[in-house]
Structure 1
């Protein structure tokens, strides 16, 4: 039995050519956004907040409320004032600032113009989400344990405030609230976005409490929303991703993992709402992706996870009566990562080659009809059938060595 190929010296070479992909794209370096953290005597809580800001991608400058100056806000994406501040001086200093502010310090609420009165619940550790669709709610609903043990503050706020969360089961006592830029506050107009938080000194944030803080930082800094409606499609050696663009985004980070739920590694940083991942993928392996939106002020929450499995493509296998050899060839194609469609030479039509990466004609074909059918096709062909060689125009004559087992 003879064998040959139309356009390459061997099957392995042909399949390797089909799997060739574009060179990897190296993400461009970006300058991380900056945050100003205003404290009193630095507490464990302050250090935890600093760590969260760092984990959000911010370069953090820490100043005490007694030595901070207005110029410290220059170039910052967000200002965070913690509960350890020893006076309301930072509020007076930064009230005119257009930089977004997250404030934990009760007395500073009034100095910033954010509230007209403050009260405390000494044993409270939970809040009730009142505006679950707002970005500052971090996707949470209902009652949430936010701190291990501490006082929780609540505030009297202006009508323009969005009351994101209240003290436990009491919508009249806002514990997390915000004003958008230009909103009328309890005193004056918000020069930039403002967010008020609940916790007094002491205590440790729970996972939910930390997420609410992170969401407040992202919102006041005008970080774009997470990309919506992501899709992922695997083809030969690559995965193509698309998503809905996020308002205010200047770019995106595409992150990939090999386990559902992560961890993920950034593999690309496109500016458009699409990306094709060609970096180090193995056909037949499932990859998991999330996308974040970025601008000068920070990085969004990740999108919903999507997954895709790159494959080498689809193959058309043309046989006669299916033999053990045909089944073995089908298995080899599948093991190479092809999705295999099998047709007999009497039923195959040229349209069957549409979308295929390769056509394979086996020695069991009962006539040379497949050669006549597929000779015009632009799809690569691997042919094992002697009579079909001539019909494909690949040879003018065929001969056989009956006892030959080597080449």
Structure 2
């Protein structure tokens, strides 16, 4: 497989992985087209945590300072018993030697806007409301048919279209479907309390973990991880009452946060699912990135970090002097074990929350993996 990418690169999916890759490739001088099925090109309005390794990747894209300014950097996670009694203060691993904070909470729409504007300013050509319908592999290109009837020829196609990736279904039919872990995640945003200057977590009964995370000077978000046996459907109209019921035993700052409980439209509930595609992550000139290759749960707060790292590493590999085949092999080799570690550790923590084991230390595992991830991707 020859190396020159003399035709455009097509990115399928306009989320974190797709936008970050578009920025990275344009900075390297590549022609990039991006298609996104969601014609509104918006994201749900809850917060996200950018760990230090995510900020390192964002710095390579020229966006770390803007994200830190838009968000809320912090260095400590405060852990409590369910009733609010202090349990432990954990200092998060950081990259202060690189001038980066340990963590930065940010509103998800704010991060999306920063990535989107940077991609458009860099010259990424974006088309909304369409996706890939079919792919035909040729020796030196991929012929793509789109859902609007248009066709195109590309040097490389990147499936960055999320956990239910259509590109993955087309090119990796042997990949197992996403797996429900047994837990769900609830989130909503609210005004930031002056007491919330870091992540504040409450370890509750019935396999529940509640927390408050600052995402700007004015806002924070509440999250709850709860066991949801059988993956039940959550009727939207009942979301406030269902969430209030699951938080009823929590003390500390949670009761005050519940006074800001929004209506159904302001609450996001997602069943927790994982996906890990076996390496290599390419078939010919089609490659996967982000959740399409390795969807994880929020226990390590590393989903965005892994997507951003994918983008930076893939762009670096494509800039190498070897063939395209060797570049894509190198990408999988650099990313697979690191992403697998995050996925497996996150699942392990969730399992411990649902089925406690003697001697299991969730916080120790989180720190162990976080320290590992301080090493460059």
Compare relative contact order (CA 8 Å, sep 6+) and give the higher one, 1 or 2: 2
Same fold (TM over 0.5): no
For the pair shown, which has the larger CA radius of gyration, 1 or 2?
Answer: 1
Structure richer in helix, relative to its length: 2
| TM-score bin, normalised by smaller chain | under 0.3
TM (norm. structure 1) is 0.21
